[in-house]
Amino acid sequence: MPAQDNRPFCAAAPRTGSQGAAFCKRVDHAGSGLARALRFDSALTRRAGVAARLGPRMTEPGNRIEKKILLHAPLDRVWGAISQAQRFGAWFGAEFDGTFVAGARLIATIAPTKVDLEVARSQAPYAGRTLEFVVDRIEPMRRFSFRWHPFAVEPDIDYAKEPTTVVQFELAEVPGGTMLTIAESGFERLPFARRDKAFAAHDQGWEAQTGLIEKYLAQTP
């Protein structure tokens, strides 16, 4: 199985041009994976104006990422944004070749996000590249999870031989809207040589993605 191409989630914004994978190797010096690819440095995160975010929380350092955000939208709208492939892709920046059904193995093709023009411009050079998602669990109105190979950036490595991490979206109705918790776990099972870079990349990346889903909900009915 050919390696999936995660470079849209690990390379920097347009200034890197065709350097892609080379920049990924320098992620510990220049920024972080998913975050840098989508131009989610700390300044951009601040500009997103996510006033209700409760802030990042990491448990079991280096193994699990957890982000929380209070979304000012009803539970059913937030559930639709994370559990329906077309809606998920609109804010995340991908198009899926099927629907989210437990056990489904899907190919996500990078397509610039529809909710942030600056981020969309940074994703545009990578449009058409693919990632593999395996839907793990679907508990309506409560929990959605999938598995993937994080930070899979080297074209000569067969990441299918490696363990996956699990990304989970959990919802809870709270005063003022819906609390969304995004968690990614399983980094401790990755090869030691790339474990820390993968964790750092996705830690900042998921922080940024909370801003995109917030924008999506604000911009769509």
Digit-coded pLDDT (tens) for 41-64: 333 334 444 433 444 444 455 689
Residue 157 has pLDDT above 50, yes or no: yes
* Burial call 73-104: b when 16+ CB within 10 Å, e when fewer: bebebbbbbbbebebbbbbbbbbbeeebeeeb
Tens of pLDDT, residue by residue over 99-112, are: 999 999 999 999 99
pLDDT band at 154 (very low <50, low <70, confident <90, very high): confident
Please state the rounded mean pLDDT for residues 70-91.
Answer: 98
Residues of the chain with pLDDT > 90, as a percent, come to 57
Tell me, which fold does domain 7-219 have in CATH?
Alpha-D-Glucose-1,6-Bisphosphate; Chain A, domain 4 (3.30.530)
State residue 86's pLDDT score.
97
pLDDT at 2: 42
Domains of the chain by residue range: 7-219
Task: State how far the Cα of 172 lies from the Cα of 165, in Å rounded to an integer.
Answer: 23
pLDDT at 62: 65
Average model confidence (pLDDT) across the chain: 79
* pLDDT value of position 176: 96
One-letter amino acid at 122 equals S
Return the ∠ at Cα 36 (arms to 34 and 39), rounded to 5°: 110
Q: What is the mean pLDDT of residues 8-37?
A: 35
Closest listed residue to residue 67, CA positions, set 149, 180, 175? 180
Res 205: pLDDT? 87
